[in-house]
Each structure stands twice: as C-alpha cells, then as structure tokens.
Amino acid sequence: MKNRARVVRAVAWLATGIAASLIGVRTAGAQDPPAIEAPTPVEQALIEQRCSATRATSAAETDAYHTCLMNELVSIRTDFGRDLGKLSPAERRAMDAVCNKVRNVEGRDAYVSCLSGQLAALHTRRNPVQAAPAAAPAPPQPPDLQALAQAVASTPAPSNSGTVAWTAVGIVAVFAVGGAGFVLTRGRRPSSKCKTCGAAVPGGGELCQDCRHEAAEALRRTAFERAEQERVEKELEKEKVRHQQQQEEAWRFEQIRQEELARRQQMERARREEEARLEDAQRRRDEEAREDSESDEFNPYAVLGLTPDATRDSIDSAYEQAKTKYDAEQVAHLSSEVQEHYKLKAQAVERAYRMLTASV
C-alpha cells in the first residue's frame, strides 16, 4: 500500500510539473500528444512479471520501477498491440494450449511467466537479426514522456492563454487518470468462480479456499471411516473365529465327558453284577450248609435227587445230570468262592454216586 501511494504521488507530481511547464511556455498551433491508455489486466500482469526484479522497496526505487513498467508496456504494445491484439488466432491458440496446462498445474504466476516466455520467443522469431540474450533493461525515462516534454518545449505558445491553460489541465487529467488506473489495476489478478459455492477464486482455480478445506476434510473423514470400518470388520472376523474355536472346544470336552460317564456307568454295572453273583453264591452256600447241618449223615439220594427205590438206570441218569450241572468249566470265569462251592458240590455228587452204585 505504501508503494502504491508513492507511485500515485510521483504521477501527480510529474503531471503537475508538466502542467506548469505548459502554462509557462508559449506554444502556438501544436497538436496535443496522444494520451496513454491504462494497461489491461493481461498487460498489467506481464509488465509486473518482467519488472519484478526492480520492484520498489523504498522511495528511491519508485521512479525506476515505474519507468520499467512504462517501458515494458510500450514494448509489448509496439510488438503485439494493445491487449495483445496483433497476435493472430493461431498464435494465440498455440500460447493458450501451452500455458493453460501450466496454470492448471502450478497456478497463475506460472501462467504469467509462461505467457511472457512465449511472447519473448515470438518476438525473437519475428526479429531474428535483433535477437540477443535478454538482459535487465536500464531504467531510462519513459519515451512517451520525453517526447511529450520535447514537443512542449519546442512548440510556440498560442495567443490565447485560456487555450493553453485548458490544454495543460487536459494533459494533467489524462496523466492523472492513466497513473491512477495503472496503480489501481496493479496487483489485480484474474479470478474464476468456485464450482461448489460460486464464490470468486482469486488467481484462478476450481474451488475456493473454504471449499478446498471442506473437500480435504471430507476426504480425511472418508479415509478415517473406511479405516475404522475395516478395523471393525477385522475385529468381528477375529471374534467369529474365536467363538467357533470355543464351540469346538466345548463340543470336544462334552464328548470326553460323555465317554467318561459311559465308561463309569459300565464299570458300575459290572461291579453290581459281580456283587449280585457273589451274594447269590453266598446264599447258596448258606443254604447248603444249613441243609448239611440239618442232616446228621450224608444222604446220597438227596444229593442226586432220587428216592430210595431208584433203579440203576435212574441213578446213572441223575449222576450225569448232577455232574453236568456242577461242572467246573461253567464257573471258571467267576470268583474263587463260587468255584469252591461248585467243587464241593461235584465231590458230593461223586460220593453219592459211588455209595449208591456200590449197594445196587
């Protein structure tokens, strides 16, 4: 803002000096020099880019920077016309095809640099003999201002002082308007509209700063939600596998428990059967002992289940039946008590048979 104010003051001072000179010098019949039109946005961007090295940083550099801007403006309009109007459609399309890609990728400043380079290359092709390595131009006085001062100094004054005064005022107004327009248009950048909200986007682009921030935030949220969803899905998959493993482990444990229970039940049944057999054998031994104790002497007929009038054939038949009944092979798998009981019974059968056959 300070540099702009200094430029405005310099333009006003220069215009005031020219007006004073015009009023003080007598001129006669001279034609007014053509007014300088303010630079267009494209011209403003190009001359600022070319004079960026001499940009004013102090009051002493303001005149040099302003002179550079005027020289570059005159040079561009001499080669390519106002607002690049002397470019052919083919030349304009060629430059746009190259520099629009740069603007889409790198932004406005890169676009302006590309456009300046394309114009310099086109100037070199049009003037091959005068082409030379570019060097920083010395800051001479603006050619149009010098010619205007010389024309004013060498022109005789008219007889009508009012005409001179109005001429001076007109020139001052032209310079003041041109300088003010030049200063005000400096720094203006081409803009476009945001595709989302329709707001102006300085420097070009598809989205404004707020919309770019919202788009970046939306992308960040989407990436976070996707990562969170993937994490939850992985946790659910792990939980499912863990639950399945627990079910398989519970099923195997139940199988083992059922097998162990069946084995114990089988052992319990076998134990009970063995106890029942032992009790039955003991009961029989007790009965036989009781029968033996009730009889004072051995009764062979009672052992074989015969009557005293039994014949030899009846004795032989009863013997064979009793021998088969008390065969030791039938109780070989039982306890020793049962085997002992059957052994005693077999001995009693043998004794009864011998006693009965001996008397017959």
Domain end marker among 141, 157, 189: 189
**Domain-located, residue 213:** no
Q: Considering the domain boundaries, does residue 195 fall inside one?
A: no
Task: Clarify whether residues 323 and 174 are in a common domain.
Answer: no
Do the domain assignments include residue 177?
Answer: yes
Structural domain includes residue 249: no
Based on the fold, state whether residues 185 and 303 are members of the same structural domain.
Answer: no
What does the pLDDT read at residue 256?
A: 96
- Residue 156: its pLDDT value, please? 47
Q: Are 118 and 95 in contact (CB under 8 A)?
A: yes
Residues of the chain scoring pLDDT < 50:
1-2, 7-8, 11, 18-33, 130-149, 151-153, 155-166, 168-169, 172, 174, 176-177, 180, 182-185, 187, 296
Final residue belonging to a domain, choices 125, 154, 189: 189
Sign of CA dihedral 133, 136, 140, 142: positive
In a domain, 49, yes or no: yes
Model pLDDT, residue 228:
94
CATH of the domain at 342: 1.10.287
Q: How many domains does the chain have?
A: 2
Instruction: Identify the domain boundary among 139, 157, 189.
Output: 189
Residue 247 belongs to a domain? no
Instruction: Please check whether residue 61 lies inside any domain of the structure.
Output: yes
pLDDT per position as a tens digit, 20-69: 444 444 444 444 445 578 889 888 888 888 888 776 565 556 778 888 88
246 assigned to some structural domain: no
Are residues 185 and 304 both part of a single domain? no
Q: Which residues constitute the domain of residue 125?
A: 2-189
Q: Do 303 and 185 share a domain, yes or no?
A: no
pLDDT in tens, 160-196: 444 444 454 455 454 544 554 544 445 455 567 888 8
